[in-house]
């Protein structure tokens, strides 16, 4: 008689909101064909250490997400059978302790899926700003489309400033992260020239990506658009300096969907206030962005509240699909895609 493979015992350590945003009913049905849920829905609004200790007791795997506390030594002491963590968010740094690595527990995250969202947002903001959609929206709402015979309207005056993404533009990508690589992939059909700064990337990989690898001192003054996708690390704090920002050409666009701390914020504000460059910003050194920030007063800046990645409805279900399929692959073959390893932490966001 053919033996049935036993189901893997899975603890859900996601808040109710995170679970609902990631695991659709159809995904849950598939999940339960190969996983035995140690704890069933509905899940609590807050995950406590005691909750994790209780439900990890017999679990071989767990799902985590934003809102999951760190799997500390005290938690792991109650999880003798835990072998794999599937994190339904980006970086695992917020939920893994040193004990996870010492125990040989394997970790995979949904970072590759979130990266698509972030890159799509960066591209959308880029096109929005290059086409001056924000300016046009303000003029339309103010009723300033009209013009008299022989005169130039405010709307017409903007036209010479419009830019399209094509081979006459150079886009500089700072960081060949998951997001940076998706950004390169998204930009390729437009035919733009792409410069890339990433000191961790080999020349062979740069050629494979089809980009020109340069230093920041070459990328910043040589790009019509600069898009930042580097991780937040001690070595990247303030990496985009005042001198580098000042070297950007007049009329250039600066895009940051990574982390605010990577950029000299005072210098960026000064450049934007001068009107010499424009920006799309989704991240800030202080979040939420203070209500009295001068950025709120500038028409040459598109501001969004750190929502470029992981917040779309369908993107959330893609995250859920990704970790469910990662668990299925692990259950079937012991393999994980894009596994997070201890030695990656030093260069991981």
pLDDT tens digits, 132-185: 999 999 999 988 887 766 667 888 888 889 999 999 999 999 999 999 999 999
Same domain, 77 and 173: no
pLDDT at 147: 72
Same domain, 130 and 232: yes
Same domain, 276 and 151: yes
pLDDT at 243: 98
Q: Domain for residue 2, yes or no?
A: no
Q: Domain for residue 3, yes or no?
A: no
213 pLDDT tier (thresholds 50, 70, 90): very high
pLDDT at 6: 96
pLDDT at 1: 39
322 pLDDT tier (thresholds 50, 70, 90): very high
- Is the Cα torsion angle 50, 54, 60, 66 positive or negative in sign? negative
Same domain, 125 and 246: yes
The pLDDT of 320-341, averaged and rounded, is 95
Question: Can you give the residue range of the structural domain that contains 248?
Answer: 114-303
Q: Domain for residue 105, yes or no?
A: yes
The pLDDT of 8-16, averaged and rounded, is 98
∠ CA 198-217-124, rounded to 5°? 60
Same domain, 69 and 143: no
The pLDDT of 286-296, averaged and rounded, is 97
Q: Domain for residue 35, yes or no?
A: yes
Distance of CA 22 to the CA centre of its chain: 16
What is the rounded distance in angstroms from the CA atom of residue 223 to the CA atom of residue 128?
A: 18
Same domain, 135 and 83: no
Same domain, 134 and 242: yes
Same domain, 148 and 285: yes
CATH of the domain at 342: 3.40.50.720
The pLDDT of 71-89, averaged and rounded, is 97
Catalytic residues: 259, 287, 306
The domain total for the chain is 2
pLDDT at 347: 66
Same domain, 29 and 171: no
Supply the mean pLDDT for the chain.
Answer: 94
Same domain, 104 and 246: no
Q: Domain for residue 15, yes or no?
A: yes
pLDDT for 189 beyond 90:
yes
pLDDT for 9 beyond 90:
yes
pLDDT at 157: 84
Same domain, 132 and 147: yes
Q: Domain for residue 1, yes or no?
A: no
Same domain, 195 and 246: yes
pLDDT for 343 beyond 90:
no
37 pLDDT tier (thresholds 50, 70, 90): very high
């Amino acid at each position: 008689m053919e033996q049935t493979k036993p189901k893997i015992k899975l603890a859900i350590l996601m808040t109710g909101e995170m679970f609902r945003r990631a695991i659709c009913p159809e995904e849950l049905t598939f999940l339960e064909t190969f996983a035995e849920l140690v704890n069933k829905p509905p899940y609590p609004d807050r995950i406590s250490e005691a909750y994790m200790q209780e439900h990890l007791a017999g679990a071989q795997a767990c799902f985590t997400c934003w809102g999951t506390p760190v799997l500390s030594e005290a938690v792991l002491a109650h999880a003798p059978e835990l072998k794999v963590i599937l994190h339904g968010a980006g970086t695992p740094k917020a939920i893994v302790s040193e004990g996870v690595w010492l125990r040989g527990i394997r970790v995979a995250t949904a970072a590759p899926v979130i990266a698509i969202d972030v890159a799509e947002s960066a591209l959308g903001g880029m096109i929005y700003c290059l086409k001056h959609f924000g300016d046009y929206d303000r003029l339309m709402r103010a009723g300033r489309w009209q013009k008299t015979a022989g005169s130039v309207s405010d709307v017409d005056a903007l036209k010479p400033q419009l830019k399209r993404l094509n081979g006459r533009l150079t886009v500089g990508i700072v960081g060949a992260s998951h997001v940076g690589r998706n950004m390169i992939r998204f930009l390729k059909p437009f035919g733009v020239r792409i410069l890339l700064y990433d000191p961790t990337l080999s020349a062979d990989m740069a050629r494979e990506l089809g980009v020109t690898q340069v230093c920041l001192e070459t990328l910043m003054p040589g790009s019509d658009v600069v898009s930042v996708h580097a991780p937040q690390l001690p070595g990247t704090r303030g990496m985009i300096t005042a001198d580098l920002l000042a070297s950007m050409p007049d009329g250039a666009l600066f895009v940051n969907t990574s982390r605010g701390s990577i950029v000299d914020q005072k210098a960026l504000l000064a450049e934007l206030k001068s009107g010499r460059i424009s920006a799309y910003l989704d991240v800030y050194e202080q979040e939420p962005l203070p209500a009295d920030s001068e950025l709120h007063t500038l028409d040459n800046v598109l501001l969004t509240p750190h929502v470029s990645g992981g917040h779309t409805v369908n993107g959330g279900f893609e995250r859920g699909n990704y970790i469910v399929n990662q668990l299925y692959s692990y259950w079937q073959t012991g393999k994980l895609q894009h596994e997070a390893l201890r030695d990656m932490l030093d260069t991981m966001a």
